[in-house]
Amino acid sequence: QVQVVESGGGLVQPGGSLRLSCTASGLIFAEHAMGWFRQAPGKAREGLSCVTWSGENTDYADSVKGRFTISRDNAKNTLYLEMNSLKPEDTAMYYCAVRTVGQYSFCYGSWGDGDVFGYWGQGTQVTVSS
């Protein structure tokens, strides 16, 4: 049984930083590309970043490029999202997901809509407020 669990969310002031973590078990973590997504109340889900199986290649949404950094440690089955220069508009539930469709080791194609990711965590809340 595949389990995906996010952690690290919380309340942070504007301009601050947070690091989210995500562990995935029940699969060969190192074979799969991984992604981070978020959803704010009343808004559509937004794809933030994707990292290939090796961690060598990454892709980012324009909204977070230069502020967020995705990385992974395959020895620990763990995915990370380092978030800097946080803004109130970054407030959302953040989700980690495992790519399972198509060339699932890579971030090819329209990964941002989330449709190629088959396993999702329950999310961790990030609130940016003074």
* Long-range contacts from 60-68, C-beta under 8 angstroms, 24+ separation: 61/112, 64/90, 68/36
Q: Compute φ and ψ for 21, nearest 5 degrees.
A: -125, 155
E strand residue ranges, 18-64: 18-25, 34-39, 46-51, 58-60
CA-angle at 42, arms to 47 and 24, nearest 5°: 40
Residues with Cβ within 8 Å of residue 44, at least 6 apart in sequence: none
Predicted confidence at residue 107, as pLDDT, reads 94
Question: Greatest CA span in the chain, whole angstroms?
Answer: 42
Predicted confidence at residue 108, as pLDDT, reads 84
Distance CA 38, CA 86 (A): 14
Indicate the burial class of 13 (C-beta count within 10 angstroms; 0-12, 13-18, 19 or more).
exposed
For every one of its 130 residues, what pLDDT tens digit does the chain have, with 9 covering 90 and above? 999 999 999 999 999 999 999 999 999 999 999 999 999 999 999 999 999 999 999 999 999 999 999 999 999 999 999 999 999 999 999 999 999 998 899 998 889 999 999 999 999 999 999 9
Predicted confidence at residue 110, as pLDDT, reads 87
Predicted confidence at residue 122, as pLDDT, reads 97
Q: Which of 91, 99, 112, 90 is nearest to 46 (CA)?
A: 112
Tokens of 3: 């389990």
